[in-house]
Amino acid sequence: MRIKIAAGNWKMNTTLEEGRRLINAITEGLLNNPSPLSPNELQVVFGVPFITLESAVDMTKEHKQIKIAAQNCCSEEKGAFTGEVSAAMIRSTGAQCVIIGHSERREYFNESHAMLAKKVDVALKNNLIPIFCCGEKLEIRHKNDHFDLVKKQIEESLFHLNPDLFAHVVIAYEPVWAIGTGVTATPQQAQEMHNVIRNFINKRYGNSISNSTTILYGGSVNAGNAGELFSQPDVDGGLIGGASLKADEFLKIIHSF
Ligand code: PGA
């Protein structure tokens, strides 16, 4: 069975103090009312700002179900890249994952397929699990090009990996039109795309890897819609933005599996 994941993407929100309070509230909530799923079945990920990584790792280290993620890493290993944060630096905090290729990074920071392939490589080299985001804008869906675009995003940035490395990757399908808009993909739309992605992985890497790849849905997931989305056969959880900043809401999402 592939692992399910509820991952929060805090984006550029929370000071250190606010972040600590949020982590406290969610971990307390989970201790008081644990998920019926074991840590081998369900992982909870906090995608926190860089400044919060070390505290987040420290505050959750006893909690086997929780992993900490950065939201980006530099495509280069080290050196004269003022202001950037390397995969090795992230790993040195104890964080285990990194979100790569979020649509906001593609859009506002011009991240290309080739650059994202380098980020994936440097993350894996440093033992970080890449949570690789893909997804189409509304005009692409209207042209019915959404399946081809998402396949291209995956092919160009992930399919150079050998099977052993690819097996560590988590994919997050996030239609851009659903991110932060309150408009969620219907469970059928999410399932349809996730199935296309899984079949595409199957063609490249075979059954065993495609069946064990975790594919998350992201885009306006909340406590009200998570249950139905996560019950789709190819939807293995969510990457959650706005709703991950509210402890009660995020806890309900964790309990929707
Ligand atoms: P949202 O963001 O849940 O606020 O739509 C999701 C994301 O950007 O990962």
Nearest-CA residue for atom 1 of ligand 1: 241
Annotated active-site residue 102? The verdict is yes
For residue 222, the ligand 1 atom closest to its alpha carbon is 3
CA distances from 162 to 3, 101, 240 (A): 21, 20, 29
Binning the chain into helix, strand and coil, the percentages to the nearest 5 are 45, 15, 40
Q: pLDDT by residue (tens digit) across 91-114?
A: 999 999 999 999 999 999 999 999
Which of 104, 136, 174, 249 is flagged as catalytic?
174
CB 107 within 8 A of CB 177: no
> Is the C-beta atom of 183 inside 6 A of ligand 1?
no
The DSSP secondary-structure symbol of 161 reads: S
> Is the C-beta atom of 107 inside 6 A of ligand 1?
no
Burial of 233 (0-12, 13-18, 19+ CB in 10 A): exposed
> Is the C-beta atom of 218 inside 6 A of ligand 1?
yes
Burial of 244 (0-12, 13-18, 19+ CB in 10 A): buried
Instruction: Specify the pLDDT at position 134.
Output: 98
> Is the C-beta atom of 220 inside 6 A of ligand 1?
yes
Specify which residues 237 forms β-bridges with. Answer: 5
Instruction: Specify the pLDDT at position 242.
Output: 97
Which residue from 107, 174, 181, 252 has its CB within 8 A of the most atoms of ligand 1, so it is best to mutate?
A: 174
Instruction: Specify the pLDDT at position 1.
Output: 73
> Is the C-beta atom of 47 inside 6 A of ligand 1?
no
Amino acid at 257: F
> Is the C-beta atom of 180 inside 6 A of ligand 1?
yes
Which residue from 104, 181, 222, 240 has its CB within 8 A of the most atoms of ligand 1, so it is best to mutate?
A: 240
Instruction: Specify the pLDDT at position 253.
Output: 98
Kindly give, in sequence order, each residue whose CB lies less than 8 Å from that of residue 7, ignoring residues fewer than 6 positions away: 44, 45, 46, 47, 69, 97, 99, 131, 172, 216, 237, 238, 239, 240, 244
Is this prediction's pTM over 0.85?
yes
Pair type for strands 215-218 and 170-173: parallel
Low-confidence ranges of the chain (pLDDT < 70): none
Nearest-CA residue for atom 3 of ligand 1: 241
CA torsion, ordered 246, 46, 178, 194, to nearest 10 deg: -140
> Is the C-beta atom of 9 inside 6 A of ligand 1?
yes
The fourth-level CATH superfamily of domain 4-254 is: Aldolase class I (3.20.20.70)
SS3 216: strand
